[in-house]
Structure 1
Amino acid sequence: MTALNKYQRLEAAGSWREAPEADLRDVIVSFGDATLIVTDLKSDTPLTHWSLPAVIRLNPGKMPARYAPGRNDGELLEIEDDLMISAIEKIHNVIEANRPPSRRLRNWIVVATIGAIAFAATIWVPPALMRHAADIAPPAQRSEIGRIVLAELEKAVGGACSRPAGDMVRHRLAARLIGPDADLAVLPTPLKGARRLPGPLTVIGNDVIAEGVEPEVTAGHILAAQAVAAASDPMLDALRYAGPRATFHLLTKGSLPAGALSGYGEKLLSDPIVQAEDEAVLGYFARASISSEPYARSLDPTGEAVLGLIEADPFRTAAPKPVLSTRDWVALQEICDQ
């Protein structure tokens, strides 16, 4: 059953006791060669090995899942991780359902079936793991990873622009367009739009605040980036780049390993800016009380390719709120000046 080695990267936190009178202790549960390995969380010392065919689920359908290594054994293991529970049950069910009279045939079927499951796991488990990590990531964790991504971008193009007056304006603009906890970074290079990073952090290039650009155009790029992020989570994109091992480290340790996102900034810069659906973008313009036509015309001055953004402009017949005062707009435009 060496095919189970393909599951060795799958680990989960759990609680274990050696006997009914013993206290539960925190452990890490992982797969061995046809075994379930229980390791002490603090010392990283293996505590016990359970034979997978003998493992019994004591409370089917209830959480946390409770397991024993045999029907009359006093050991107990509790697991709440859905991925690990699913993997244990799938492997255990396959073993139990394929016990033919012939030992030789039995071994062949078990190995072949587990090999198929392990092969499927290499396709299904990593994406599911990353989606799960992105879904449950708290705001602080998203913000931390957003800052790591920004640092990777700065390695490629230079540090984000900063001047006292301009910094005050970019913070206020982010709060107005995105939310009170949002932030905006201006990079000293053209980005041809805006990119939302993990956490409430959006980056723009100096091209969208250049001379001749209207504040409504800058705001439009920022709002469009929020619509793109709503459809495709930038946290998930970052975890896909980091990979399943780094993602598991994030789930168990609370942070990505050092260097997990190395080079990600260059990749982002090489990727084209994604355009969101018109309906989604227009919703952001309406909530921000900003006209969508200036942004649309910046994408296509003829208006032909962006007719939906122009004709459905939420402020086509009403007066939108000014994005920035003239003084604030000048301060933002000068943020990259040395």
Structure 2
Amino acid sequence: MTALSEYQRLETTGLWREGPERQRREVIVGFRDASLVLSDSRNDVPLSHWSLPAVRRVNPGEMPAIYAPGDDDGETLELTDETMIAAIEKVHRLIEARKPHPGRLRSILLGVGLVTVLGLGIFWLPGELVRHTASVVPFAKRSEIGKAILADVARISGAPCASGPGQRALASFSERLIGPVGGELVIVPSALSGTRHLPGKIILMGRDLVEDHESPEVAAGYILAERLRAEASDPLEELLHWAGFGATFRLLTTGNLPGDSIAGYGEALLATQPGRVADEDLLAWFEAAGVPSSPYAYAVDISGESVLGLIEADPFRSAPPPAPLLSDGDWVSLQGICGE
């Protein structure tokens, strides 16, 4: 690991300024495997994530110690805890010691390897680096990346459908099936049949799910199934595997993806075929969401043979759901969301 074992899970308080014009606020500073995590001191909600290799001290030798997450960032963090300051400085001394030095043969042979493990302290396999990077990216950054992928998808599918009444109905549908905080449903006009998931709890839907069915239960079933796929396979990890090692390392160390790393991913995403999810898991979600599973099952396989478990164990087979998914008016508006 980057941080030495004696500093594992070290925490202290500090004063964080989000930008040059912002007020300082007290935060909890957590010293983690390859990062500093800044959390609200009142409710422990993460506010910022700094990569340790990129952290720099802007006032060497002075107290309180003032740090910034990089050369061009307006954030600052003031620390007075000598143990935390010593931990950060010790990591940077280790990083400096591992830098290549002119005249040494191993600097030529191992230069690339040292850059790879800079600030990590171990040799990461690509899969491990992807998993670690995805695990430390905050939701706001995931949403930003999801929006960038959506823009790339739009080059092929066209701009998302957004008629006024339909958009309001879609927002209501999203709140019912995804939740009121974070995440959204997006309907695209072409190139997609079914659903796909993006980072930031964004679910893409093809217009066929609302235009080709008489009730919203089919679309709801596809959305619930896609949410299960997103839980089983992190969409950010899927992107990073596609973008490659360089883009992943850049995201880990700077908090940003290279500008061209997403180009073309939208086409690759639309070309993939979603896998089946376990009937037992899906049925539990249908019941919790108040959605019958049979309409979705017959949409997947009109014969019912391959989805018999979803039909026979439909949680609302003998009784109606507790509440309609949408009003009749909202469903009609949603069906016209891609209209002129």
| Structure 2 residue 77 is matched with structure 1 residue 77 | no
Q: Which stretch of the first structure deviates more once superposed, 248-257 or 179-188?
A: 248-257
Change (3 A) 1:20 1:169: closer
Alignment partner, residue 318 of structure 2:
317
| Partner Cα distance (2:67, 2:257) in 1 | 22
Q: How does 1:28-39 map to 2 (within 5 A)?
A: none
Secondary structure of the residue aligned to 2:185 is: strand
Identity of matched residues, %: 39
| Structure 2 residue 158 is matched with structure 1 residue 161 | no
| Structure 2 residue 269 is matched with structure 1 residue 268 | yes
Secondary structure of the residue aligned to 2:319 is: coil
- For residues 267-288 of structure 1, the C-alpha deviation after alignment (integer angstroms, 9 at most, x for no partner) is 0111112222212222221111
- For residues 35-56 of structure 1, the C-alpha deviation after alignment (integer angstroms, 9 at most, x for no partner) is xxxxx9569xxxxxxxxxxxxx
Q: Which stretch of the first structure deviates more once superposed, 153-162 or 269-278?
A: 269-278
Is residue 174–residue 184 contact of structure 1 (8 Å, CA) maintained in 2?
yes
| Partner Cα distance (1:219, 1:242) in 2 | 31
**Structure 2 counterpart of 1:263, which letter?**
G
| Structure 2 residue 308 is matched with structure 1 residue 307 | yes
| Structure 2 residue 184 is matched with structure 1 residue 171 | no
**Structure 1 counterpart of 2:146, which letter?**
G
| Partner Cα distance (1:216, 1:11) in 2 | 48
Change (3 A) 1:127 1:189: same
Give the helix-richer structure, 1 or 2.
1
Alpha-carbon distance, 1:305 to partner: 0.2
Match of 2:54 among 7, 10, 13: 13
| Partner Cα distance (1:88, 1:310) in 2 | 62
Q: How does 1:35-184 map to 2 (within 5 A)?
A: 41=71, 66=87, 76-78=89-91, 124-181=124-181, 182-184=183-185
Q: How does 1:225-264 map to 2 (within 5 A)?
A: 225-264=226-265
The size of the alignment, in residue pairs, is: 271
Secondary structure of the residue aligned to 1:203 is: strand
Alignment partner, residue 332 of structure 1:
334
| Partner Cα distance (1:65, 1:284) in 2 | 49
| Partner Cα distance (2:165, 2:263) in 1 | 32
Q: Which stretch of the first structure deviates more once superposed, 188-197 or 158-167?
A: 188-197
Q: Which stretch of the first structure deviates more once superposed, 211-220 or 266-275?
A: 211-220
| Partner Cα distance (2:151, 2:209) in 1 | 21
Change (3 A) 1:292 1:244: same
Q: How does 1:210-229 map to 2 (within 5 A)?
A: 210-229=211-230
Alpha-carbon distance, 1:190 to partner: 5.2
List alignment gaps of at least 5 residues for structure 1: 1-9, 29-39, 44-61, 68-75, 92-106
Is residue 17–residue 77 contact of structure 1 (8 Å, CA) maintained in 2?
no
| Partner Cα distance (1:184, 1:19) in 2 | 49
Q: Let me know the Cα RMSD of the aligned residues.
A: 3.8
Change (3 A) 1:123 1:149: farther
Alpha-carbon distance, 1:27 to partner: 8.7
| Greater gyration radius | 1
| Partner Cα distance (1:64, 1:205) in 2 | 52
- For residues 93-145 of structure 1, the C-alpha deviation after alignment (integer angstroms, 9 at most, x for no partner) is xxxxxxxxxxxxxx99x99x979x88x98994332222112112211111111
Alignment partner, residue 298 of structure 2:
297
List alignment gaps of at least 5 residues for structure 2: 1-50, 74-82, 99-103
Is residue 58–residue 68 contact of structure 2 (8 Å, CA) maintained in 1?
no
Is residue 195–residue 204 contact of structure 2 (8 Å, CA) maintained in 1?
yes
Alpha-carbon distance, 1:223 to partner: 0.8
Is residue 157–residue 191 contact of structure 2 (8 Å, CA) maintained in 1?
no
**Structure 1 counterpart of 2:148, which letter?**
I
Secondary structure of the residue aligned to 1:335 is: coil
Secondary structure of the residue aligned to 1:315 is: coil
State TM-score, norm by structure 1.
Answer: 0.68
| Partner Cα distance (1:160, 1:210) in 2 | 15
Change (3 A) 1:27 1:164: closer
**Structure 2 counterpart of 1:136, which letter?**
V
Secondary structure of the residue aligned to 2:305 is: coil
State TM-score, norm by structure 2.
Answer: 0.67
Is residue 59–residue 66 contact of structure 2 (8 Å, CA) maintained in 1?
no
